[in-house]
Structure formats: structure tokens, C-alpha cells
A = this chain, B = another copy of it.
Amino acid sequence: MPDRIYNFSAGPATLPYSVLQQAAKDIVNFQDSGMGIVEISHRSPGFAAVIAEAESLLRELLDIPDNYKVLFMQGGASSQFFMVPMNLLAPGKKASYLNTGVWSKKAIAEAKLFGEVLVPYSSETGGFRKVPDPGEYQVDPASEYLYLVSNNTIYGTQYQKMPVAPANVPLVADMSSDFLSRPVDVTKFGLIFAGAQKNLGPAGVTVVIVRDDLLERAPASLPTMLRYQTHADKGSMFNTPPCFSVYMVREVLKWLKNLGGVAAIRDINEEKAAWLYQIIDEMPYYRGHAETASRSRMNVTFNLPTPDLEKKFTAEAASLGMAGLKGHSSVGGCRASIYNAMPQEGVRTLADFMRRFAAANPV
């Protein structure tokens, strides 16, 4: 194997090579302290600067207003599935969920433990091939919030127009798989969360961006660690944070800022995705799973003429240094995850291979 391959995994996913090289130094000796970044106290000035810079870079890159808290938490997006309703959905109240895939279904199941759940839209019967347009559903204005998953890794769908909630109904978004891949108007959301392991860093940290006023909704009986307020009050340092993951987030954010920020990466991501969708549109050999208007710029899902050809395709790609192209088991086929850190050269290499493979393996 070469020193570096193209890793198209859905997550944990490829990270910027320069970040990995910096981490290799810092893990042994951080800032010439004689200690590795994984060894320093979370209360030390060294780590305090790391977490503060991670937050300020995130605020800068996403233009997060002052009335939003930025939290670094543990437990993955899966823990947010219950923490959102636990903190925001009081007993006897209701919340609305847009059901666009496995992750929204899991979130719906957890929310039902806390209150009434309305599902004004679901694309399940159609195989989750699309996300809705704002006009396709009606949200009960008595909802405590409207919940959405901005990008669906398994099906390769993504909102290109964000849902709009009725007045006074905050939007809550699971942005785990397209966070920081494009500009987002944070002021339109009450709460945004994202597991790190796609665009943000390694697994082990989840970013939560939450509007101040929502912190007060939590019932008094919640365990300390399960209240957003606890973590907001202590700058994500109520207990020992996942220091290394937070450090890596900072490094990835520095990399993204140097690259020009979210608008710049959006343009790159649009270009990368377009190369693959162009092939899918031009060559009947490849069939896209997602409906055109709902296509994800992060996860490109497609089928080949037969399952055997799909198997040959992923194996041959792997032998050429393109890993992780097998689709999720619940959908089958192929999937190319092309997150922020996937270089353009990697996508071009894949696109060339797709053309060559179709020519070499006619049906």
C-alpha cells in the first residue's frame, strides 16, 4: 500500500493529511512542553487555549451569534437523539420530525420516550430517495421544535433548501454528515449538533450549537451531565472533555480557515460532487439512488448494472488505492463519501475509474 490512499468511507472518514502530520508531533511533545497533547491536564493553560481556539474558530467560520452557546460533548450524535427531547420536549408537549432516513427514525424513537412526536413528512415508503421541499408538509405550530437531518449518509440525500418552521418553533438539525461543508445561517436554528467524525475530526466529540433561551427549558430532575446548561455554564469543562478529539477539531478548523472557510469549501464540494453526478447522469451504467433535487454533496450513492459488478467495482477500486466505496448494507450498491478532506484529486481519480470500469465491463 502507498503511504496514502483515497478513503471514501462514510465515517470515521478521511482527515486532512497536514492535520495528521501535526498530530503525530503533538501527541509526543505538544508545543515543546515535554508532554504529549493526550497527557496534559484539561485545566492547564495549554489545553484551555486549545478548546478556546476551537470554539472561536467555529464561531468565526459559521458566524455564530453571541446568543448561541458552542458545546463540545461526548456520546456521539446518538446521544443527542435523546438529549434533544430530554432537554426541549416537556411531558405532554409535542415535537415534529421530518423522517428522511435511519438517523431521523432513531431520533424519533428516542423522542417518543419524552412526549408526543408528529411526523409531518416521511420519504420512507419511497426508500428515502429524497428530502422534502418546504411546501411538501405542514408543521403544527404548537410543536416545541421541528427536527431534521440535513444530510443522510446512507441514501445520499441532502437538503439544498433548509426547512422553514412556523414562527416560534425552533429548528433542530442533526448536521453530523454535512457540518461545515457549506455556509449555514445559524440564526435560523435553535439547536444544531454534529458528531465530529465526518468533516470535523475523529470520533469522540460532538459539537452542539444551542440558542441561549432553549437552555432554560430542561426539567429540574435531569442528571447534571444531561443538561446542556451544565456544559454551557462550564465552557464544556464541567468534567474532563475528550481532549484529543477537541485538539483535532481545532486543527481541522485551522485547516478549513486557511483554505478559505465554508464558502470556499462549499464551492470545492459542489465541484467534486458534480464530477460524479455528471457520470451518473451521462452513463446509464450508473444509477443514482437519490432523486436529483435531493442529491447529497457529501455522499454519492449509486448502483451498477448488477451486484456482481458492484463487487468487482469496489474490489478493483480498492486495489487502485480507493477504499470504502461499498454502499451501506441497508441500501446496497456503492457510495462515495467525499467530505471536506477528500482531495479533488481523489474524486477525479474515482471519476476516471468509473468511466474506465464501465467501458471495460460492458453488460
Contacts and interface: CB of A to CB of B under 8 A. Distances in A.
A15 B38 CA distance: 8
A44 to B, nearest CB: 8
Nearest to A79: B225
Nearest to A239: B78
Contacts of A32: 1
A55 interface: no
B242 A242 contact: yes
Most chain B CB atoms below 10 A, which of A10, A28, A36: A36
Contacts of A106: 224
A240 B197 CA distance: 9
Given A42-B203, A81-B225, A21 B28 contact: yes
A75 interface: yes
A244 B245 contact: yes
A34 to B, nearest CB: 3
Contact-size category for A: 35 or more
A12 interface: yes
Interface string A1-44: 11111010111111101001101110111001111101111101
B202 A38 contact: yes
A78 B238 contact: yes
Interface in A35-57: 35-36, 38-42, 44
Contacts of A110: 223-224
Given A203-B243, A243-B202, A244-B245, A12 B34 contact: no
A339 to B, nearest CB: 11
Contact of A1 (B15, B33, B321): B33
A148 B90 CA distance: 34
Nearest to A44: B9
Contacts of A201: 38
B27 A224 contact: no
A153 B312 CA distance: 56
A324 interface: yes
A322 to B, nearest CB: 10
A131 B201 CA distance: 42
A109 interface: yes
A34 B197 contact: no
Interface in A224-259: 224-226, 238-245, 248
A333 interface: no
B20 A5 contact: no
Nearest to A9: B41
A291 to B, nearest CB: 27
Contacts of A242: 74, 203-204, 242, 245
In order of increasing CB-CB distance, the 6 nearest A-B pairs are: A5-B34, A82-B223, A204-B242, A38-B202, A78-B239, A74-B74
